[in-house]
Amino acid sequence: MASGGVFRLCVIVTILAQPAQACTPRSVRARVPVKIDPGYVISQVPLDHCGDVGLRLFSSDPHFTVNTDGTIVVAVVSMVTKTRSFGVWVKAGQGQPQRVDVQLIPDSEQSAPWNQAHKRFKRRWSPVPFNIIENASPPFPKEVELIGSDSSVNYTVYYTIHGPGVDQPPMNLFSVVRETGMVKVHSAVDREQYPKLVFQARATDRVTGKETDRPLDITVLVLDINDNPPTFLGPLEFQVDEQSKPDTEVGVVTATDRDEKGTPHTQIKFSLLTGMQLFNIHPQSGKITTKSGTLDREVQATIPVTVEIRDMNGAKNGLFNTATATVTLVDINDNPPTFTETILKASVAENKADVLILRIPVEDRDEVNTKNWKAKYVIIQGNENNHFRIDTDPKTNEGLLYVVKPLDYEKGKVVALMVSAQNEVPLVNTLTSWNTLPVEVSVGDVDEGPEFFPLNKVIRVKENTPLGTLLGSYMALDPETKSNAGIRYYKVSDPGSWLSVGEATGELKVTNTIDLESDLVTNAMYNITINAVDLSSKSGMGMVTLLIEDTNDNVPELVDQVIVLCEVEGKRGMVTVTAHDADLLPYSTPYNFQLSGESQKKWRLRDAQNVSVVLEQAVDMPRGNYEVEMRITDLQDKGGVQVVTVKVCRCVGGQCVAARSSVGMGAWGVLALLLALAMLLLLCLLFVFACNAKGEKMYTDDFSGGMLLHSNTEAPGEEKSANLLMIPSMGGMDLMDNSAKGTGLLDQNQNMSPGDMNGMSQTMGQQNMYQSSRRDFMANSLHHQNSFYTSGGQYRGSANYSDSLYQKQANFSHFNTWDTNKLYLDEKLDYFGGEMEVCHTLDLPHPYQYEGEGSAAGSVGCCSEMGDQDGLDFLDSLGPKFKTLANICLNKEDRE
C-alpha cells in the first residue's frame, strides 16, 4: 500500500517537473481600432509545430473566439481604449495546456518597441480551467491557481467563491485567499466521482462592499491517474464443439476500466495464464479461439481457462485482474456403439412368435440420452424372411431380439444373423464405422401338425361349372415324415357350399352352382378354408381360392322399368334409358339398343353410350303413360325385348305433377269414381224417401235425435237449436220397448183414434211436468189431424197410421235418429208451406236450472216478446232456399 502511494507521488512529481515544450509563441501583439465590431480578425496564433491530433483552442476572454486554425476573431462589440490583454489556451493531444498572451494596442497609443522586455501583466479575470490531480497525497491544503480581476487596477478588491466544492457537495473542498485570489484544495478528489467541478468567483470592493466585476465561473478539471484496475463484464461461460478445427471461435471476454477513456489507463490487454495449449485469446478484443483440433469431450468435458486483463496496454506497471473462464465441449457423434461380446447365441422353439430371445449389450462413449448415444440396431444379414425384429431398450440402450414369425425346424436348425449397432445420427469427425456382431439362433424341434403346400392354393374355374366336376386335390404333409398317410381333410369355411373335400384324398368337387355374380364373391375370388388332421390329432389349416372366370349367363336389364319424360315447351321431350348386365367384359358393355314393334312409329333412339341411350319422341304425344318395346343386347348379342313405361307429363323439379289428369286412371281411380257415384245415388234416394215418406211415423222419447249445441251464454245468443219432436214415455218406459208391448197397450186397437190416444195418455197417470207436457203435445197434435190426416188415417198420401208401424218398430229400443226427426221436419215443412202466421202449436216446455230469481232471458213461452232462443223461430230465417226445398217436398195438393 505504501509502495503504491510512493509510485503515485513520483508520477505527480514527474508530471509537474517536466518542462512544457511550447509549440506556440508566448505572446501575440496586434494593433486594433478603438471600437472593434464582431467578425473582426485580430491576429492568428501560429500552430505549425503543434500537430493536428487532439488540438483544442479557447479564449480566456468571452469577447473573443479562437478558430481551430488559430485565428482570433471578435465575438461581441468591444472598446479598446488602452492596451488590452487576454490569453489563448492551446491544448495539443494529452499534453498540458499552453497559454499565449494576446495584447491589443489601440491605434491612439504609442506602440512600445517590439524588442523591449515584456512587461509582466496580472492574470486576467477570465482564466482557463484549473487542473488538479485526483487522489493527490498530503499535505493539504495545496495551492491550485491564482484568479484576478481587471477591476483590481482601480479598486481594492477581495475575492470569494461559491458553488460545488465550496459550499455545495463536495463541501469545503476549495477555498480562496480573499486578498490575493489564490485558490486552494483541501483534500484528495476522486476523478471517477467528480471529473469536473465548476464554482463561481466574485470580486468585491473592500471599501464599498460592491462587486467590481461580473461573477466568473471557475472550472476545475480533475486529472486522471491510473488508480482503477480493469474488471470483467458478463459471465465467463463458453461452449464449443469437440473436435473443432483450429481458430474456431469459442467466445469473447469483455472488460472495462473506470479510468479516463482514451488514455493508457484504460487500454486493456487480454492474455491467458492457463489453457494456452488448447486456446488463444486476442490481446485487444478478448476473443478466445481454439488452438488445435484435439478437443475431446470424452477426455475432458469442461476446460477451465485463466484470463488476465491489464491496463496500460499490458505494461508491467499497469493494473490488472484475473478470472477463470469455463469452456464446455459440446458432444458430437464421434464414437459409435461398441459390442461387449464378440458373438452371441440364442435359442427358440419352432412355431413360436412374438417372443424375446436375446438382449444385446453395447457401450457408447458419447453423452448419455442424446441422439449420439442412443443405439439403433439393424439386422444386415440372415433375416431375409422377416422372422426377427430388434428393438432398443430406452433405459439400458440394449438391443432386444424378437422372433415375430415362427421358425421351422425342418427348414433350418440354426439361423445365423449379423447385427449392426448404429446411432440415430451419423458419425462425425471420425474414421471409424458402425460395429457388427454375429448372432446364432438355434431352432428347437416340436411335433407339428400337417402342413399344406402351398398354404393358399388358387384354382381357376368357370362359373356354372357342372356339379360333380373334379377341380383337383389339396393335400397336406407331416413336416417330420414328409408323408400324407393317415391325414384326414375337413372343410372349415365354405359359405356357399360350392365344393366338397374328400376326407381321405383331399379331392375338390363342385357341389353347388358357382356364380361370379354372387355376393359371396369378392374380386372374382371365393375362399374355402380346409383343416388337415393327422393321427395324433394335430391339425393344420390351408386355404383354397377359386378364381372364377365369367360366362355370359346374364343379359342386360333395364335399371328403371318406369321413367318420367318431362314436357318441354316448344319441343319434343327426351329421356335417358339405362341398362345393366351383371356379367364382366367381354359379356357386357357396350349394349345395343333397338326399338321394336309399334314403338318405332312414335319413338326414336339417339346418343347411345356404353350402358344407356336417349329415347326421344318422334311425334307429338299428349300426356299419359306409354309402353315402349326395346330390344337390348350385350356385346355378344345376347338379350331380348323389354318394355319400359314412359310417363309423359308436366314436371316441377323433376317430379311429375299432372299424373291425375292423365288419360289412364288406373284401377284405383276407376274404383274411386264408382264409389263417388254410388254415394251420390244413395243421397238422392235418401232425399226422395224423406220427401215422400208415409204416415208410419211415431214420436220417441229419446233425446239423442235432437241437436244439442253447447253455449255458455244464458241470454239469447247467436246459436239456435231445434226442439225435435219426442213421444211421451208410458209409465217411465219407452213406448217402443218390448216391455211396453207386453202391457197390451199397443195391441188393443190397431187403428187408434185421437180420442183413444188421449185417453190412453190419461190412464198412464200423472208423471212429471216434462211427461205431462209431452202428453199434452201428443193430444194436441192428434187434434190437428183434421188438417194433417185424411179420414182414412192417411198422412197426406202416406201409409195408414196403424199399429203395424208400432209392431215393426217395437223390436228396437229407439227409433233411428233420422226417422225420429223426420216427422217433426215434415210438420214444420207443412207449416212453412202454408205460411201460417201463428206460433207452432207444439210448443214444448223446456227444463231450466232455477237460479233463485227470474231468468234474464225472459219467458220461454211461444208468445214471449223477448223471443225464445231455444224455440223454433230459427226455422223462419233459413232463407228462400230452404222454403224452396219445403215446397218440393210437399205434395202438390198441399201447395195448392
Task: Give the C-alpha separation, 388 to 381, whole Å.
Answer: 11
Q: How far apart are the first and last CA of the chain?
A: 164
On whether the CB atoms of residues 741 and 810 are closer than 8 A, the answer is yes
pLDDT at 533: 94
pLDDT tens-digit readout, 398-428: 999 999 999 988 888 999 999 999 999 999 9
CA dist 842 and 845 (Å) reads 10
How far is residue 598 from each of residues 457, 558, 638, 641, 655, measured CA to CA in Å? 56, 19, 22, 13, 27
Query: Could you give the strand order of the β-sheet that contains 355-360, starting from the edge strand earlier in sequence?
Result: 355-360, 399-403, 388-392
In this predicted structure, which of 82-86, 671-675, 761-765 has the lowest mean pLDDT? 761-765
Paired with 672 in beta bridges are none
Any idea which residue has 479516463 for its cell?
260
- Over residues 801-806, the mean pLDDT reads 41
β-bridge partners, 393: none
Alpha carbons 370 and 391: distance in angstroms, whole number:
17
Give residue 668's Cα distance to chain centre. Answer: 57
β-sheet bridge partners, residue 457: 544
The DSSP element (H or E) to which 534 belongs, if any, is none
Cell output for 536: 395324433
> Residue 541 in contact with residue 563, Cβ under 8 Å?
no
The neighbouring-strand residues paired with 388 are 403
Kindly report which listed range (290-304, 670-684, 688-702) carries the lowest average pLDDT score. 688-702
Angstrom distances, CA of residue 865 to CA of 124, 226, 692, 859, 861: 144, 139, 36, 8, 9
Rounded alpha-carbon distances, angstroms, from residue 67 to 29, 534, 759:
17, 123, 163
| pLDDT given at position 827 | 66
In the chain, pLDDT over 90 holds for what percent of residues? 42
Q: What is the mean pLDDT of residues 51-62?
A: 74
Q: Is the model's pLDDT at 677 over the cut of 70?
A: yes
Q: Mean pLDDT throughout 812-824?
A: 57
State yes or no: pLDDT of 457 exceeds 90.
Answer: yes
Q: Where residue 130 falls among pLDDT bands split at 50, 70, 90?
A: confident
Which pLDDT value is given to residue 665? 53
- Closest listed residue to residue 450, CA positions, set 541, 349, 543: 541
SS3 850: coil
| φ/ψ of residue 864, rounded to 5 | -65, 135
Q: At 609, is the secondary structure helix, strand, or coil?
A: coil
Closest to 234 measured CA to CA, from 249, 265, 256, 262: 256
| Residue 436 CB partners (closer than 8 Å, separation 6+) | 380, 418, 419, 420, 421
Contact between 329 and 297 (Cβ < 8 Å): yes
Closest CA to 373 of 302, 422, 430: 422
| Contacts of 777 by beta carbon, 8 Å cutoff, 6+ apart | 725, 728, 842, 844
pLDDT of 330 > 60? The answer is: yes
CA 204 from centre of chain: 87
C-alpha 489/C-alpha 541 separation (Å) is 10
Cα dist from 344 to 401, 419, 760, whole Å: 11, 10, 132
pLDDT of residue 719: 44
For residue 207, what is the DSSP state?
T
- The answer to whether 245 and 292 have CB atoms below 8 angstroms apart is no
The domain limits of the chain are: 2-112+119-223, 231-330, 338-444, 451-549, 557-664, 695-849+867-895
Q: Checking DSSP bridges between strand 507-510 and strand 525-533, what pairing results, if any? A: unpaired
Strand positions, DSSP E, 561-720: 562-566, 574-580, 592-595, 603-606, 612-617, 624-633, 639-649, 651-652, 655-656
Q: In whole angstroms, give the CA distance from residue 273 to residue 249.
A: 19
Q: Nearest to residue 88, comparing CAs of 182, 39, 25?
A: 25
Q: Which residues contact 884 (CB under 8 A, 6 or more apart)?
A: none
Of residues 700 and 358, the one with the higher pLDDT is 358
Task: Output the nine-digit C-alpha cell for 211.
Answer: 462587486
Please report the pLDDT score of residue 253 as a whole number: 96
Q: What is the dotted CATH code of the domain comprising 557-664? A: 2.60.40.60
CA distances (Å), 610 to each of 123, 573, 616, 645, in order? 124, 22, 18, 22
Strand, helix or coil at 847? coil
* 39 vs 845 pLDDT, higher one: 39
CA neighbours closer than 13 Å in the CB half-sphere of residue 887: 9
- Give the torsion through C-alpha atoms of 201, 205, 210, 214, to 10 deg: -40
- Cα angle, residue 134 at apex, residues 133 and 135 outer, rounded to 5°: 120
Contact 775, 761 (CB under 8 A): yes
- pLDDT tens per residue, range 354-406: 999 999 999 999 999 999 999 999 999 999 999 999 999 999 999 999 999 99
Assign 684 a pLDDT band (cuts: 50, 70, 90). Answer: confident
Average pLDDT, integer, range 548-572: 88
* Neighbouring residues of 481: CB distance < 8 A, sequence distance ≥ 6: none
- Which CATH number applies to 338-444? 2.60.40.60
- Give buried/exposed letters for 830-864 (b at 16+ CB in 10 A, else e): bbbbeeeeebbebbbeeeeeeeeeeeebeebebee
Could you tell me the three cell numbers for 223?
A: 486529472
- Residue bearing the bigger pLDDT, 737 or 245: 245
Angstrom distance (rounded) from CA 639 to CA 154: 147
- At residue 164, the pLDDT reads 94
In whole angstroms, give the CA distance from residue 875 to residue 703: 20
Lowest mean pLDDT segment, chosen from 40-54, 152-166, 524-538, 725-739: 725-739
Q: Is the separation of the CB atoms in 492 and 531 below 8 Å?
A: yes
For 171-191, the pLDDT digits (tens) are: 999 999 998 889 999 999 999
Q: Dump pLDDT digits (tens) for 819-835.
A: 656 676 776 666 555 54
Of 16-20, 497-501, 848-852, least confident by mean pLDDT is 16-20
Domain at 451-549: CATH code: 2.60.40.60
Residue-level pLDDT at 836:
45
496 or 149, higher pLDDT:
496
Name the residue with higher pLDDT: 49 or 325.
325
Grid cell listed for 481:
415324415
Q: Does residue 135 or residue 843 have the better pLDDT?
A: 135
Bond prior to 97 in cis (omega within 30° of 0)? no
Among the listed residues 97, 93, 89, the one whose alpha carbon sits nearest the alpha carbon of residue 70? 89
Chosen CATH of 231-330 out of 2.60.40.740, 2.40.30.10, 2.60.40.60, 3.40.50.300: 2.60.40.60
Q: How far apart are CA 231 and CA 62, in angstroms?
A: 42
Whether pLDDT at 771 is above 50: no
Put residue 523 in one of left, alpha, beta given phi > 0 → left and psi -120 to 50 → alpha: left
User: Is 2-112+119-223 in CATH node 2.60.40.60?
Assistant: yes
| Separation of alpha carbons 579 and 634, rounded Å | 10
